[in-house]
Chains A and B, each alone.
Chain A
Amino acid sequence: MIGPRQVELPTFLAGVPGLPEELWVIGSMPSRVGVAIVGTRRSTSYGEGVARALGRVVAMAGWPVISGLARGIDGVAHQACVDAEEPGWAVLGSGLDIVYPRQNQPLAQRLIGRGGGLISEYAPGTPPAPFRFPARNRIIAAFSAVVVVVEAAVTGGALITARLALELGRDVLAVPGDIDRQVSEGCNLLIRDGAHPVLGPEDLIETLTFLMGDPPRPGSKPARSMDENLDRALHRSNRPVGEALADLTRSQLGL
């Protein structure tokens, strides 16, 4: 890994209050304002499926996908960028030589490899600490015109990111979830308080187009349908199971 270097804030962040003057970067900086996809670390497969689908369509539309490289939703959103062979950016709450959680180290490498990067306001050697994460979340919000919260409990970092985004005048979208599930409460609460609900990948692109203008890469490949229960999909497809599973592999391999 090439070591972290210090760069000035990109021009699209000029005038955003409360940001440091310089940031540490490995890889590249996003060239335009992006879309944050964030959520709980204690994700369910529902949330992960949604995060994967949303991350993919946003990345393929050409908007930078920003997240926090945490376990759960953040990591899945990053992975979706990598799988779509698009760049993605992770903002860390530690020095860039310390990737936390360590399991996401390979993912961080792949983000850089695909043309994305790691961003932090902390100098190399700064260990991760709970009090640094809200500041990290502020940078995530700053780099994004829209923050999409996929799954979040009421007491989660994702809701802090949403609040910081609103303070910065960013738009907040939330993915609705079951009302009796703890990790959906935060999202549903945001929707009650006025966040626009995300109804699916296509719906998200439509909303983003309305909020941010046409995607940088319009007419990219049609969005893949959302992950759903595999068996239900197999049942509905009414095709031999083997063939349908083969299709699934091909699409995962991007063939």
Chain B
Amino acid sequence: MSVAMVGAEPRPVRIEAHVGRPSETFSLVGLPDTSVREAKQRVKAAILSSGQEFPHRQITVNLSPADLPKAGSDYDLPIALGVLAAAKVIPSPGRMIVAGELSLDGSVRRSRWAIGAALLASERGWPCLVADADASTAARVPGARVFAIESLAEAASVVSGSSPRVATPKVEEATVDDVDLSDVRGQPSARRALEIAAAGGHHLLMIGSPGCGKTMLARRLPTILPPLEPDEAVEVACLWASADRIKPFTTRPPFRAPHHSASLAAVIGGGNPHPQPGEVSLAHGGVLFLDELGEFPPHLLNALRQPLEEGNVAIARRGRSVTFPARAQVVAASNPCPCGFQGDRVVSCKCSPTEVARYRRRLSGPFLDRFDLRLPMSAPDPDLLLGPAGEASEVVRTRVLEARRIQLERFSKTNSALSRSQLDRISYEGSALDLIAAAVRKGFLTGRGADRVRRVARTIADLQTAELVEEVHVAEAVHYRGSM
């Protein structure tokens, strides 16, 4: 058996080989594309280079299910083993997952889908054969039994019963980040909002003049997020593999920052005949940063809404549809107006009111409703910039982790995902509700805004491990309502 990726999901592909009457034909069926069809030449050369006889018979290899299109060079090794087994050179490999490209000299090259193969193997409780170079990473898939293979000859002897080299999971090196939250100085309110966003998984919108540090702040969000759970990390690795991206297997949440000129397919996902995940999926489990939100075309923001709500993207192609996970935390940054200086302490704004109104309109509507936290930012005070460094990411992350733990215990989800009925089940200090009522009465909050405040207030309380949501938590949450 080998593996095909459908979306980011590994599917088993059964390799069947048949050796018939004497002939020199070698046919490959089961919707192979050109890269798979060329396996014939590689397999033949690799078998000969390994010192085996290549059967001078009619060879038919079927990749099943026959209606699933196959692509890539990862079928080389399983096809070669199938041919050898059909020629009775080795016993039938049977229940194992094999993936790897063959070199003409018989050595096994890296496979794009090693992670997918290991995932599939662990689900079925079978062993998994991958190239040496992939083995230690693939072995990190929880429950996977991974055998490292150097060459076709070694694979053949493993199938024949010699003891395999069992790969040990690579221990992740402690990631040394080039960015840290301690770099953010003199912006205590922004640091605080980032911590709340991390703790509750809330989407965050920052509004401020150019150069006030919006991008700097966003880049530091992954450093205070909880690390990915092992199965999440596998999912992320599969996604990246299906996008043909090289990324070391890591538990660090990804950070993606598509430019506002990116195409719909690049952001949401697409492509024919093999759909690829878009940026929103590559950010799965991590942060999707949309800088200059007002410059993104409205249709793109609308298209982002559904994936962010459902946590996945479904891409329909003729006859089938693939689904990529897309559970990303969105951080967006925007200037307050086209010239960027409205509300600045020093520079006055040069935009006409109609320009500002048009700009604001692009920033409003249903997409903006997804942002629980709206943070007005101003350029850091020069005096504070030279002051002492702020708390390091590691310290903040400890608090975030504790707050997340409390949330998962309560409703098995982050506060950002709480439904209205769940919000209603949260207990408040009496004066906390009074404050929300007062804010609504005075026109500070809309009904929808009040829901956002309740979610954020719950996260603030969780950061302090407080049982009840207190008045002080709600009052702080109202500050992040945004006045746009």
User: B188 contacts which of A103, A181, A235 (Cβ < 8 Å)?
Assistant: A235
Beta-carbon contact of A232 and B192 below 8 Å: no
Contact string, A173-213, partner B, CB cutoff 8 A, digits 1/0? Answer: 00000100111000000000000000000000000000000
Beta-carbon contact of B479 and A229 below 8 Å: no
Beta-carbon contact of B438 and A241 below 8 Å: no
Cβ-based interface call for B442 (8 A): yes
Beta-carbon contact of B460 and A242 below 8 Å: yes
Chain A residues with CB under 8 A of B186: 231, 235
Beta-carbon contact of B348 and A43 below 8 Å: yes
- In chain B, what residue has the closest Cβ to A41? B353
* Assembled-state Cα–Cα distance A101/B344 (Å): 22
Contact string, B343-354, partner A, CB cutoff 8 A, digits 1/0? Answer: 111111110010
* Assembled-state Cα–Cα distance A235/B187 (Å): 9
Interface residues of A in 211-255 (CB under 8 A from B): 229-232, 234-235, 241-243, 245-250, 252-255
Beta-carbon contact of A46 and B188 below 8 Å: no
Cβ-based interface call for B64 (8 A): no
Chain A residues with CB under 8 A of B346: 44, 46, 178, 181
* Assembled-state Cα–Cα distance A103/B352 (Å): 13
Beta-carbon contact of A44 and B345 below 8 Å: yes
Cβ-based interface call for A71 (8 A): yes
Beta-carbon contact of A246 and B476 below 8 Å: yes
Contact string, B337-363, partner A, CB cutoff 8 A, digits 1/0? Answer: 000000111111110010001000000
- In chain B, what residue has the closest Cβ to A48? B343
Cβ-based interface call for B381 (8 A): yes
Chain B residues with CB under 8 A of A245: 189, 192, 475-476, 479
Q: How far is the CB of A78 from chain B (nearest CB, A)?
A: 15
Beta-carbon contact of A242 and B192 below 8 Å: yes
Cβ-based interface call for A42 (8 A): yes
Number of A residues, CB within 8 Å of B = 33
* Assembled-state Cα–Cα distance A255/B473 (Å): 15
Q: In the complex where A101-B353, A249-B478, A255-B435 touch, is A234 in contact with B345 (Cβ < 8 A)?
A: no
Chain A residues with CB under 8 A of B444: 252-253
Cβ-based interface call for B449 (8 A): no
User: B348 contacts which of A103, A182, A250 (Cβ < 8 Å)?
Assistant: A182
Beta-carbon contact of B344 and A45 below 8 Å: yes
* Assembled-state Cα–Cα distance A80/B353 (Å): 21
Contact string, B366-396, partner A, CB cutoff 8 A, digits 1/0? Answer: 0000000000001011011001000000000
- In chain A, what residue has the closest Cβ to B480? A245
Cβ-based interface call for B314 (8 A): no
User: A242 contacts which of B349, B438, B472 (Cβ < 8 Å)?
Assistant: B472
Contact string, A3-44, partner B, CB cutoff 8 A, digits 1/0? Answer: 000000000000000000000000000000000000010111
Beta-carbon contact of B476 and A232 below 8 Å: no
Chain A residues with CB under 8 A of B383: 232
Q: In the complex where A42-B349, A44-B344, A229-B345 touch, is A249 in contact with B384 (Cβ < 8 A)?
A: no
Q: How far is the CB of A161 from chain B (nearest CB, A)?
A: 19
Partner-B contacts on A (CB < 8 A): 40, 42-46, 48, 71, 101, 103, 178, 181-183, 229-232, 234-235, 241-243, 245-250, 252-255
**Nearest 4 A/B pairs, CB to CB:** A246-B475, A249-B475, A241-B192, A246-B476
